[in-house]
Structure 1
Amino acid sequence: MVGARVLGMIDHFGIQVADVESSLRFYLRMFAACGVREAIRIPLPAQCVVGLSGPAGQPQFWLSPAGGAETRELHVAFQAPDRAAVDAVHAAAVGAGAQVLHAPREWPEYHPGYYGVFLRDPDGHNVEAVHHGGAAA
């Protein structure tokens, strides 16, 4: 369901990135088909903090400047309204020259109807668009 809370037990989360503006451009372009958009921007002396939202408008995914080098890979999945949106995320990634870790496909090991694409973001994180619908007809 589009616009729902990220997870029932999580209100919001943030990641620290090397370049907020670069990461912001990546997330807005790659996940536009999932309804991701900039909801709020808080200026800082050198960069800014940006809250991204889905269609409901509540900022739930935050980008802020990193205080140091990243030391581990993070995985974030964005909910897609349908398989076409997952395919659109893949097309945006290919068009932008982003690294595609796994092209769109069904992942039955997670559950029937789990359809996702996996990408690498500018900071090396594994990011995904996923639709939890039924299998394609």
Structure 2
Amino acid sequence: MLDHVALQCADVAAAAEFYTTVFAPLGVHEAMRYDNDGLVVGLAGPDGFPKLWLGPLVDHGDRPIHLALTAPSRTAVDDVFAAAQSWGTEILHEPRLWPEYHPGYYGVFFRDPDGNNVEAVHHGFDVGAVP
């Protein structure tokens, strides 16, 4: 449904490093980078199309969002959690099933360097996993 999301960042390079490191288990990587009155970085997933854009602050007011990235498996969610922990970011909710959302919803929630609530989520059940 979403074509792309753009986040305003206090430090675009640091945010790009955070997202490409923490979400590497989901195939997130830098697809492009350019200067447009400040650094702009386009991040892509396995399909190679930049869908998450990081750019400089335009509005210095409160602007936190919730951003969820799809994980191909529960293991990938757990790998994102481990990467987020190693980054030292604030963990909001450790990986677990969230049956109040729907059966098989498995996610982890944490803060990015700009305070946004970000998530890795897998929808469904892994083969051989206990629901």
Q: What is the aligned partner in structure 1 of residue 27 from structure 2?
A: 35
2:31 counterpart of 1:62: no
Match of 2:78, SS state, is helix
Which of residues 70, 89, 104 is equivalent to 1:113?
Answer: 104
TM-score (norm 1): 0.88
Match for 1:81: what amino acid? P
Q: Deviations over 1:13-58 (max 9, x none)?
A: 211111100111110111000111101111235x311111100000
Identity fraction in percent: 55
What is the RMSD of the two structures over their aligned residues, measured on CA atoms? 1.3
2:68 counterpart of 1:77: yes
Correspondence 1:1-137 to 2 at 5 A: 7=1, 10-45=2-37, 47-134=38-125, 136-137=129-130
Deviation at 1:72, TM superposition (A): 3.1
Q: Which blocks of at least 5 consecutive residues in structure 2 are unaligned?
A: none
Q: What is the aligned partner in structure 2 of residue 4 from structure 1?
A: none
CA distance in 2, matches of 1:12, 1:44: 18
Q: Deviations over 1:65-123 (max 9, x none)?
A: 01232413200000001000000000011112111100000000110000000010111
Residues 38 and 70 from structure 1, CA distance in 2 versus in 1: closer, same or farther, beyond 3 angstroms? farther
